[in-house]
């Protein structure tokens, strides 16, 4: 498998489309995330930047979803979507999944290291106590109506991502 592209997470270039009310979705669709099951996040975004990974098949889309809880903690989910529309793309993704299964801890460790650095920078910039934890990474396939896609999901939880003030959630200062 040859490397086709690399992606890098940088808070300086993430562009968020954020909705103010619960249940709103900006950019991306629920179908892109969970194969048609409805999900109602507080905030969501579609972007073309992700944590840098080992070599992965060429992505057709990337989705970043941020769900902010009333206490200011945010669940971040990155999904890389790869169309599996040819025998070659199916074989390439299967080879990637085998490599991933063998080296999953390396994928997770690199993701954790990058995100921890981002959160540390945000903490230094805002002066607010913040931590990152509950890191996960997984691969799989979705069978949608007319399309089969492979995916790589990265997730983590960012404690104190948003400031809270008398029931109001305020975020954006980390960017």
Establish if 10 belongs to a structural domain. no
Establish if 5 belongs to a structural domain. no
Tell me if 47 sits within 8 A of 8, measured CB to CB: no
Establish if 128 belongs to a structural domain. yes
At 145 the pLDDT is 63
Establish if 25 belongs to a structural domain. no
Rounded to two decimals, the pTM is: 0.68
Establish if 129 belongs to a structural domain. yes
**What residue numbers bound the domain in which 155 lies?**
30-170
Rounded Cα distance between 120 and 148, Å, is 38
Rounded Cα distance between 19 and 106, Å, is 34
Q: How far is CA 32 from CA 92, 148, 153, in A?
A: 21, 11, 12
At 162 the pLDDT is 94
For 84-140, how does the pLDDT look when each residue is reduced to its tens digit (9 = 90+)? 999 999 999 999 999 999 999 999 999 999 999 999 999 999 999 999 999 999 999
Establish if 40 belongs to a structural domain. yes
At 142 the pLDDT is 87
Q: How far is CA 161 from CA 56, 65, 124, 128, in A?
A: 29, 14, 13, 9
Query: For residue 32, what pLDDT band results from cuts at 50, 70 and 90?
Result: low
For 42-78, how does the pLDDT look when each residue is reduced to its tens digit (9 = 90+)? 333 333 334 444 566 778 889 999 999 999 999 999 9
At 44 the pLDDT is 34
Establish if 143 belongs to a structural domain. yes
| Total tally of structural domains belonging to the chain | 1
Establish if 17 belongs to a structural domain. no
At 59 the pLDDT is 80
Rounded Cα distance between 155 and 74, Å, is 11
| Model confidence at 153: pLDDT above 80 | yes
Average pLDDT over residues 21-25: 27
Query: For residue 156, what pLDDT band results from cuts at 50, 70 and 90?
Result: very high
């Amino acid at each position: 498998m040859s490397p086709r592209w690399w992606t890098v997470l940088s808070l300086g270039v993430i562009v968020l489309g954020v909705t103010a009310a619960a249940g709103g979705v900006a950019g991306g669709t629920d179908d892109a995330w969970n194969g048609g099951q409805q999900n109602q996040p507080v905030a969501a975004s579609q972007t073309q930047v992700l944590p840098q990974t080992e070599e992965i098949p060429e992505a057709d889309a990337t989705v970043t979803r941020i769900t902010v809880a009333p206490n200011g903690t945010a669940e971040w989910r990155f999904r890389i979507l790869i169309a599996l529309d040819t025998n070659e793309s199916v074989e390439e993704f299967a080879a990637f999944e085998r490599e991933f299964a063998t080296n999953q801890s390396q994928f997770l460790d690199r993701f954790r290291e990058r995100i921890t650095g981002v959160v540390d920078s945000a903490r230094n910039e805002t002066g607010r106590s913040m931590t990152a934890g509950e890191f996960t990474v997984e691969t799989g396939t979705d069978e949608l109506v007319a399309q089969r896609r492979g995916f790589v999901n990265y997730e983590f939880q960012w404690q104190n991502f948003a400031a809270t003030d008398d029931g109001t959630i305020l975020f954006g200062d980390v960017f």
